[in-house]
A and B are shown apart, each in its own frame.
Chain A
Amino acid sequence: MNALLAAALPVFTEGPSEVSSVTREANWFLENAFIIPLLPAISFLLILFFGKRMPKKGAEFGIAAVGIAFVLALITGAAWLDHRDNFDGQLSESPATGIEPAHDDHADDGHADDGHEDEGHEDEGEDEHAIGVVADDGSTSSDEVALAVEAEGDGHGEEGHAYVAVQNSTQWLQSGGIEFSAGTLVDGLSVMMLFVVTLISLLVHIYSTDYVSGDRRYTHFFAFLSLFTASMLFFVLSDNILQMIVGWELVGVCSFALIGHWWEEKPNSDAALKAFLTNRVGDVGLLVGMITLFFAAGGGQTFDTLSITNTINQGGVSHTALVVAAAALMAAVMSKSGQFILHTWLPDAMAGPTPVSALIHAATMVVAGIYMVARLYPVFWEGMQIPGSSINLLATVGAVTLVGAGLLAFVQTDIKKVLAYSTVSQLGYMAMALGVGAWTAAVFHLFTHAFFKANLFLGSGSVAHAVHSFDMKKDMGGMRTFMPQTYKTFIIGSVALAGVFPLAGFWSKDEILVGTGGWGIFGGTGGPGSYTFHLTMGMIGAALTAAYMTRCVYLTFHGEYRGGDHGHDDDHAHAHDDAAHHGDPHESGPRILYPLYILSGFSILIGLVNLPPGFQLVPESWQERFLHFIEPAGASYFPAVGHATPSWSLAIISSLIAFGGAGLAYWYYFVKVDGLARSTGQKLTELPNGLVTTNAWARAGHKVLVEKYYLDHLYTGIIAGATKGPIARAANWTNTHLIDGVVNTAGETAVRTGRQVYDKIDQGLIEGFINGSGRVSDATGQELRRINSGKVQNYAAILFAGAAILAGAFIVILAL
């Protein structure tokens, strides 16, 4: 076991790293995970060729395939839990053989900034697992192994199991001496993603059978859902960066096709185009970054993710190369995961059907960027200099995104756009978490977010299914009476998103805030660095999240029903062209509701899988299970990420801030607006802008209240109003005019440049030159024709003159 450990942690071995944390021997399911993406891929083909002839128009293929995939993912997950704790196979030959040996002082690098004195580690090692899969042996996390070895003799090192990823690859092709392999890499991260993707995909499939029933491209829709699922699974399972590129692009194209599902209307196809093109811009970064990695870290020989990260982790790659790679990949993350300034496609992408928004634009595809960062973490760890409190690009972009998008979510009237901006904001959290070194927190948030955001999207879809619109102000309001089940699940999702204890969002968001290193005063220190600014932004974001979700809930489910008085003349509810009911909306059917229930359940419970250490209400063996199983701590391909100590005070303060935000919004909408609406009998959705509402309030007879809560008035009128009004509007303006403007202008400029280049250079210069030389030849020919005047004596003159000139010239020249 010692040998194994030593082998697993090349940091502590001498000589070149001949081994890594990789094996090919494991449970059958871990080795053959490729079946999971294969199933939906087959389903795609079946739907494509036979879908229309099937009784359910192809949906059955999709559901069956994804269902089986989900089961397989579950089994694989269980197998992983077992494998994680009981690995007893052989380590693979290092794919990194031949790469220059580890830097000598690497060990110091990796652990110089340890603050790993997490108390919780010593005591875990019990059998219980939060996810409920039983591993038969108590074991320490390899994170602890690293510590254990370092701390020499805390008693657990000998029994510790290394964190061993399972890799199974085969040669795809060979060109120019380079082998391209294709394979699967199964470790905690990918297992987690398998679970998320298959589960949500399955639920979305079921949900869609109702939601898009009757659509003219029903079969097509399911085909692309299958293809998307396959691509996404392919992406998360890929064991090399080339395969990641492939998967990355494939999910992008599925996203394109599904956003543009109703391509008859130009805005939809515009949105699809915008999504694809914006992502393509990021893809430039992806290509450049991956190629840089391939040569700098893969030695121009291998795309293998693990050997690349291995090499980087051991300091075998120049810092410059990593900076370039990290910066380039950043662009890819910004586009795919909707980070500020490349986020604008994501709200537009809501033009797609709602299940697609839930699956692709909330739960899975948009986190591909986050996943990629997590997967290639050493690149960013070194390239962005994450350890050491430096304000790095990743964290800052994330922080700006989470606040910026949170503000924007305020002024949306379209419920899906609220959720879309919310998604952007949450992705900002994840990016920020990665940027500050809180790897597990980021991945954990990714995990929890997938459930509650899918829940919210599907909930909004359920509402829209009933009212045939996504416009909260015009067509919704008071929906709780019509759709109580949807309302409940939506509330659960909102609360989870807002980060209310003890729902899922609380745990993950708190962990991120902790991960920033926190303020000393909260005791939350000890992460890889101390990121005060980012913590502040995270706090603001928490308040904003709570507030805009409150607004959203109010506008949708409370107040008077504002729809119904006009026909569904809107553009959005395409799924229901056939729906003829003009009466009151009613609750959705079971195929919509059950997925909502399931997701709500997850929204409530899923946060418990990673209870923070020091959460004394539960046994310690229940704590940090997620971290234990997912984070490849101690693996040679993963940097020595430090973990911040969670603190009660930070958790409480952040909760208070969230409650504050929610409370303010609640007061404004549920009390103020709602009361006003009741008293006036008008269908108010929001008060007229705060600063000019004094008279309105006076007319409404609320003068006393206003006088009494002058402070509140200040808050609502100036702070909330300003936040909601000018600032948010400014943000929105910036968004639509500046950033969107930049994106659109970039597109227009490209077209205009194209036209200019074509007109001026191609048709003008080059063609002009070619045609001009033709014309010159022609004209010269015309001139030369005059030589032949037709008069024989002129000819004779030319003859004699020619002879004379030639003679003269030659005699002179030769005489010289």
Chain B
Amino acid sequence: MSALLAASDFVRPPIDWHAAAPELTLLAFGALLTMMDIGWLERGRKASSVLASLALLATMVPIITLAADGNDRTMFGGAFVVDNYSLIMKAMFVLAGYVVVLLSTNYIAEGDYWENEYYGLLLSSILGMVLMASARDLITIFVALELLSIPAYMLATWRKRDLKSNEAGMKYYLMGVFASAVMLYGMSLLYGSSGSTLLADINVALSAAGDPSSVVVLGIIFVTVGFAFKVSAFPFHTWAPDTYEGAPTPVTAFLSVASKAAGFVALMNIVFVGLLGRDDVVEPLMWVLAAASMTVGNLIALRQTNIVRMLAYSGVAQAGYMLAPLAVYGDVPETALGAVVTYLVIYAAMNLGAFAVIMAVARKTRSAEISDYRGLFHYAPGLTVAMTIFLFSLAGIPPLGGWFAKFRVVEALIDANNASGVVLGIFVAVNSVIALYYYARIGLAMWGEEAPDGDLSKVDVPVSLVAAIGITAIVTIAFGLGLVVGDFTDVSLVAASGG
């Protein structure tokens, strides 16, 4: 055996355990959770959510130590990179996951679902995301993507006997598979054009050429389509409303935030590292996707009566805003990257918060219809204020976080100092106004109308939900006031790409 090993000239690549520590921690806890399930069966139910929370908090430890260390780390020939950017994204995924656990605790426990598996799958999906943050190689990205997607398909179908949940999972699954198939096809073309799966190498190979060949263009577009699906950009958003509506609400929150963010992370990895020299193709592509997503998403959201579907379409529009900086990424890479990262973080906070309130309200109304939000202010003022914060933050009203996110986007667009950037900026501006309409409509229903049937009984909100709402609200406001912006924009993928 050792002879065999010695005979081959394979040398195990050096492994920086510290760099991989977050993934390994998650993996260990995930395995533990699964073992517990196998060993304890139902007895482990109570402990599982606690364990999941612990897993996520424990994962934060290596992330923090890595951040404190401050050195960029590279493994596997550049396929796995730990830098500021990836750490921030990892932290975001982990914390978003933590909030999702908080959201899930009561929902899953009270709903007669399988709990241990649920958390196990959740952790494995988060693992995929955390991995994605460091992935700088097509294969890694693909594996990470599937690692985060496959558990998510199952989570979406978690309410096994519910037709809607089935349908949600089915649609999510099939569309996901189609999209990853297209993406893979695109990856194969990129690989073929550059001869490497490493993004840095791809960049070098593609940048060297003059005009892009059709194969490259096709590859870029197909790859982009794969992630556009993930971030639910128009016209690849079709699954999102149905899946969001049908999936269990915590899972919806998870999908709408973490999964979307993972899609963006992957997209940014590819775009900023692998395609930095091909902004002539990518920028107009992103421009079209961004403009179409924000406009169509907002317009359709106007007509929604179900708050979750509305948030799904709002999510499409938000994806459009987030894609917008990528339309000028070649001109102002740092600003554009910073804008997307900031937006992702803030979006995570406010959207999770909104879902937390939806879950809290649904505990009384058993419904997610907007009409059931009427008069909420009169019997649940705290929830109303929280919901108002989240909704108007999504709309981008200062001093709530959303404005800062949008500000960064517009800043990047204007900074590019070209017509397409400014026009897209105007798109963002006009769309913010359209979007306000449906957000404010809910605000109006909550504040300005009478409760249906005059039912003013209080809403019983469990502690975990309160905690989730509190955390997200604080983060949302803190961002809005400019208190914790910190290093979010110091991230640079350009350095990593060497370009």
Residues of A within 8 A of B (CB): 774, 777-778, 780-782, 784-785, 787-788, 790, 792, 794-796, 798-803, 806-807, 810-811, 813-815
CB within 8 Å of A: which of B169-196? 170-171, 174-175, 178-179, 182
CB within 8 Å of A: which of B39-96? none
Instruction: Enumerate chain A residues within 8 angstroms of B301, measured Cβ to Cβ.
Output: 781
18 A-B pairs within 8 Å (CB atoms) are namely: A777-B434, A778-B303, A780-B299, A784-B299, A788-B242, A792-B170, A792-B239, A795-B175, A795-B239, A796-B178, A799-B179, A800-B178, A811-B214, A811-B217, A811-B218, A814-B211, A814-B217, A814-B280
Q: Are A781 and B170 in contact (CB under 8 A)?
A: no
The interface on chain B, measured as residues whose beta carbon lies within 8 A of the other chain's beta carbons, has a size of 36
Sort A-B residue pairs by CB-CB distance and give the 8 closest, nearest first: A795-B238, A781-B299, A781-B302, A802-B235, A781-B303, A803-B225, A807-B221, A792-B171
The reply on B263 being an interface residue by CB < 8 A is no
Residues of B within 8 A of A (CB): 170-171, 174-175, 178-179, 182, 211-212, 214, 217-218, 221-222, 225, 229, 235-236, 238-239, 241-242, 280-281, 284-285, 288, 296, 298-303, 434, 437
Q: Are A800 and B182 in contact (CB under 8 A)?
A: yes
Given A777-B434, A792-B174, A798-B238: A785 and B214 within 8 A (CB)?
A: no
How far does the alpha carbon of A785 sit from the alpha carbon of B303 in the complex, in Å?
8
CB B212 to nearest CB in A, in angstroms, measures 6
- Residue of B174, B229, B298, B302 with most partner-chain A CB within 10 A: B302
Instruction: Enumerate chain B residues within 8 angstroms of A794, measured Cβ to Cβ.
Output: 238
How far does the alpha carbon of A784 sit from the alpha carbon of B175 in the complex, in Å?
20
How far does the alpha carbon of A814 sit from the alpha carbon of B280 in the complex, in Å?
9
Which residue in chain A gives the minimum CB-CB distance to B218?
A: A807
Instruction: Enumerate chain B residues within 8 angstroms of A792, measured Cβ to Cβ.
Output: 170-171, 174-175, 239
Instruction: Enumerate chain B residues within 8 angstroms of A782, measured Cβ to Cβ.
Output: 303
Which residue in chain A gives the minimum CB-CB distance to B179?
A: A799
Partner of A806, one of B171, B174, B288, B296: B288
Partner of B242, one of A774, A778, A790, A803: A790
Instruction: Enumerate chain B residues within 8 angstroms of A781, measured Cβ to Cβ.
Output: 298-303
Q: Are A787 and B235 in contact (CB under 8 A)?
A: yes
CB A531 to nearest CB in B, in angstroms, measures 68
CB B440 to nearest CB in A, in angstroms, measures 13
Q: Are A777 and B222 in contact (CB under 8 A)?
A: no
Instruction: Enumerate chain B residues within 8 angstroms of A777, measured Cβ to Cβ.
Output: 299, 302, 434, 437
Partner of B171, one of A778, A785, A795: A795
A-B contact count (CB 8 A): 86
CB B311 to nearest CB in A, in angstroms, measures 15
Q: Are B222 and A814 in contact (CB under 8 A)?
A: no
CB B463 to nearest CB in A, in angstroms, measures 37
Given A784-B299, A785-B303, A814-B281: A803 and B288 within 8 A (CB)?
A: no
How far does the alpha carbon of A788 sit from the alpha carbon of B245 in the complex, in Å?
13
How far does the alpha carbon of A811 sit from the alpha carbon of B281 in the complex, in Å?
9
CB A50 to nearest CB in B, in angstroms, measures 49
Instruction: Enumerate chain B residues within 8 angstroms of A785, measured Cβ to Cβ.
Output: 300, 303
Instruction: Enumerate chain B residues within 8 angstroms of A807, measured Cβ to Cβ.
Output: 217-218, 221-222
Instruction: Enumerate chain B residues within 8 angstroms of A798, measured Cβ to Cβ.
Output: 235-236, 238
CB B232 to nearest CB in A, in angstroms, measures 11
CB B321 to nearest CB in A, in angstroms, measures 18
How far does the alpha carbon of A794 sit from the alpha carbon of B238 in the complex, in Å?
9
Which residue in chain B gives the minimum CB-CB distance to A796?
A: B178
How far does the alpha carbon of A806 sit from the alpha carbon of B219 in the complex, in Å?
12
Q: Are A810 and B217 in contact (CB under 8 A)?
A: yes
Instruction: Enumerate chain B residues within 8 angstroms of A814, measured Cβ to Cβ.
Output: 211-212, 217, 280-281
Instruction: Enumerate chain B residues within 8 angstroms of A800, measured Cβ to Cβ.
Output: 178, 182
Which residue in chain A gives the minimum CB-CB distance to B299?
A: A781
CB B436 to nearest CB in A, in angstroms, measures 12
How far does the alpha carbon of A130 sit from the alpha carbon of B301 in the complex, in Å?
91
- Residue of B241, B281, B285, B300 with most partner-chain A CB within 10 A: B300
Q: Are B242 and A799 in contact (CB under 8 A)?
A: no
Which residue in chain A gives the minimum CB-CB distance to B282?
A: A810
How far does the alpha carbon of A564 sit from the alpha carbon of B87 in the complex, in Å?
106
Given contacts A792-B175, A810-B285, 9 further A-B contacts (CB under 8 A): A777-B299, A781-B302, A784-B296, A788-B242, A792-B174, A792-B239, A796-B175, A807-B221, A814-B211
How far does the alpha carbon of A754 sit from the alpha carbon of B151 in the complex, in Å?
66
Q: Are A788 and B238 in contact (CB under 8 A)?
A: yes
Which residue in chain A gives the minimum CB-CB distance to B302?
A: A781
CB A280 to nearest CB in B, in angstroms, measures 41
Which residue in chain A gives the minimum CB-CB distance to B215?
A: A811
How far does the alpha carbon of A46 sit from the alpha carbon of B171 in the complex, in Å?
85
Which residue in chain B gives the minimum CB-CB distance to A795?
A: B238
Q: Are A806 and B170 in contact (CB under 8 A)?
A: no
Instruction: Enumerate chain A residues within 8 angstroms of B241, measured Cβ to Cβ.
Output: 788
Which residue in chain B gives the minimum CB-CB distance to A778?
A: B302
Instruction: Enumerate chain B residues within 8 angstroms of A810, measured Cβ to Cβ.
Output: 217, 221, 281, 284-285
How far does the alpha carbon of A774 sit from the alpha carbon of B280 in the complex, in Å?
36
Partner of A802, one of B171, B236, B242: B236
How far does the alpha carbon of A159 sit from the alpha carbon of B182 in the complex, in Å?
114
Q: Are B174 and A796 in contact (CB under 8 A)?
A: yes
Given A792-B174, A806-B288, A810-B281: A787 and B182 within 8 A (CB)?
A: no
Given A778-B303, A810-B281: A799 and B225 within 8 A (CB)?
A: yes
Q: Are A787 and B238 in contact (CB under 8 A)?
A: yes
Q: Are A806 and B225 in contact (CB under 8 A)?
A: yes
Q: Are B300 and A806 in contact (CB under 8 A)?
A: no
Instruction: Enumerate chain B residues within 8 angstroms of A811, measured Cβ to Cβ.
Output: 214, 217-218
